[in-house]
Amino acid sequence: MAERILDDAPAHSVPLDENEDLVELLAELRLDKEIPDALYRTVAEIIGFLYVSKGRYAKGYEAPRPS
């Protein structure tokens, strides 16, 4: 299933980034448990990246202007 998601991602403009170490750490987490403090910032940055890549920003935050 994961391979299919990776294969289909570009066709749907889903950004991809490969980080084997991070994948291994995240794969050890249970979906029904809190994110460990050591990974909280990393997961938050991933979520933030995904929102920005789709043009979504937090309330009160302005999108960066092109240079």
Q: Does residue 49 sit within a domain? A: yes
Is residue 29 one of the residues assigned to a domain?
A: yes
Domain count, the chain: 1
8 falls within a domain: no
Is 5 a member of any domain? no
Amino acid at 60: G
Residue 31 maps to a domain: yes
Residue 10 lies in a domain: no
Domain extent for 41: 15-53
Cα(2)–Cα(55) distance, rounded to whole angstroms?
A: 25
pLDDT for 20-33, tens place per residue? Answer: 888 888 888 888 98
3-state secondary structure of 63: coil
Q: What is the pLDDT of residue 4?
A: 92
Distances from the Cα of 64 to the Cαs of 19, 39, 40, 41, 52, in angstroms? Answer: 26, 27, 25, 22, 10
pLDDT of 58 higher than 80: no
